[in-house]
Amino acid sequence: MSDARVRYTKDTIRRYFLKLLKTTPIHRITVKKICELAEINRSTFYRYYRDPYDILEQLETEIINEFTKIVNSINSRNFEERMLFIMKHLKENMTYYSIMFSENGNQAFISKMMDISLQLTKERYQVKGNKVFSKDQEKLFYFFSRGCKGVIEYWISQDMKEEPQEIVDYLLDLYKRHKDNF
């Protein structure tokens, strides 16, 4: 099978898997249902995936790798520019993120994304000031990152009606109130 045909088949399987995941918890998604929607036979499905959990795991890995690459590519150390870049990326990929951050998504995936963002942000600050965080600063950093997660989850759950800049301005306002503690 040609590479283009393989990509098309895998994309079709993923598209229908995501369509199901939008309304159905993963433990209720069956290979049979995916195959029916994608109009493929089970042997074609099993050529690429073990089960629905395998699709989810592969999607999560790809999204996390892409997200990490994007966050690493942001040259600015400016908090606002970095956050705006990330919010624009989330909005541009709203279809994936709205499903992955939904109640049917994997909560561990959401936490992993936030942990990556937290770690990369901490590294930027440490490179900038070459300092080690105190325990209180670590706690505040952790608290702020989890707060950002909550704001982002809320934004996504509301279909990202607000512009990325509005979300960044809100987070920046929170950050400015506490930045002296970093």
Rounded mean pLDDT for each run of 10 residues along the chain, 182 residues in total: 88 96 94 97 97 94 86 73 86 88 81 75 60 73 81 90 95 76 56
SS3 117: helix
Question: Which domains does the chain possess?
Answer: 1-49 (1.10.10.60), 56-181 (1.10.357.10)
Per-residue confidence (pLDDT) for residue 71, from 0 to 100:
77
Contacts of 34-42 with CB under 8 Å at 24 or more apart are 38/12, 38/13, 40/9, 40/12, 40/13
The four Cα atoms 107, 74, 118, 110 give a dihedral, to 10 degrees, of 0
Per-residue confidence (pLDDT) for residue 134, from 0 to 100:
75
Per-residue confidence (pLDDT) for residue 95, from 0 to 100:
87
SS3 104: coil
Per-residue confidence (pLDDT) for residue 177, from 0 to 100:
78
Per-residue confidence (pLDDT) for residue 72, from 0 to 100:
78
Per-residue confidence (pLDDT) for residue 126, from 0 to 100:
63
Per-residue confidence (pLDDT) for residue 103, from 0 to 100:
84
